[in-house]
Amino acid sequence: MHADTPGDRMELSSFPIIGIALAVLSAALLTVGNHLQSVGVERASRGSSTSLGAAGFWALARTPVWLLGSVLFGLAILAQLAALAFAPLIVVQPVGVIALVFASALTAVVTRRRPSSAEIVAILVAVASLAAFVGVAAAVSVQTTITDRELILILIILLVVLTVTFAGLALLRRHGIPPVVYVVLGGLFAGFVATLGKTVILRVQTAWASRDFSIDDTNLLTIACLVGIAVAGALSIYFVQTAHTVSNPQTVVAGLTIVDPFVAVILGITVLGEAVGAPLWSFGVFAVAGAGAMWAVWRLASITQPSR
């Protein structure tokens, strides 16, 4: 399973339709799970806008609605990982934008309030942007084996991000950490979970395609990826739950659906090489569609529910 140079790359099978369908399922589970977690956090904290500690998480663990939301959140992650097994990262992750569209619909049902014209416009822009991005990505992207060098690069980037994150939090803590920071960090580390998860999936697919199941020193890198997934996943969970105590559910979903795909798509293109050979015009579509989706997500987050 040695693949240390670009010339050693092997293209792997991709089934974008299945990957997109599973990603939509993941977005739906994320939406409902996020809503239930938000309700659970509010009940457990009794409206207190403070970051969660050990006692806070213990209170959440005894809150049935939060536990149900956590189960759905976990199923959303499993569905997302399954989607990544069928399609490239740059195809699957942007589909998560539709989670905020689902969230707007759920909010309308829960509050028995019809969406405003501004919401409808934002939803249409989000869906159109998402369709353009994913459609082009599915047509031009490829899945290839990942080299040891690329895997090491991802792990180094994660270490740098971890260092900057904790240093930044230490500095901000003196003056108070803005609520949006928790939202952004939750999405940031979720993006690394998806990217590292994809690298592990690629390793397994490569071994299966080449019928090479030997155990050698390169497996240590895969183990390091699994450790990275555990660390990034734990941090994402912590920051998302803390974000629920200081932000409304729409803002939390907005952060996840913007930052998570942004991080994953950047790493997918620059490190995993999923857009190698893609025509120049496709990157223009990615830029325009990505900007449209980001505008729509933030617009929906700002008009569908007021801050706490």
**pLDDT tens digit sequence for 39-64:** 887 777 665 544 566 666 777 777 88
Q: Give residue 230's pLDDT band: very low, low, confident or very high (50, 70, 90).
A: very high
pLDDT at 13: 66
Q: Give just the sign of the alpha carbon dihedral 22, 23, 28, 30.
A: positive
Checking phi first, is residue 277 left (phi over 0); if not, alpha (psi -120 to 50) or beta? left
Query: Any idea of the CA torsion for 16, 17, 18, 19, to the nearest 10 degrees?
Result: 40
**3-state class (DSSP) for residue 12:** strand
Q: In this model, does residue 154 exceed pLDDT 70?
A: yes
Q: How far is CA 106 from the centre of its chain?
A: 20
Alpha helix (H) residue ranges in the chain: 16-45, 54-61, 64-86, 89-92, 98-111, 117-140, 148-172, 179-210, 219-246, 249-270, 280-303
pTM, full prediction? 0.78
Identity of the highest mean pLDDT range in 15-29, 108-122, 191-205, 292-306:
15-29
Q: How many CA atoms lie within 13 A of 213 on its CB side?
A: 2
pLDDT at 1: 41
As given in the structure block, the two tokens for residue 103 are 């969230």
- Are the C-beta atoms of residues 76 and 37 closer than 8 Å to each other? no
pLDDT digits (tens, 9 = 90+) for 232-254: 999 998 888 888 777 777 777 77
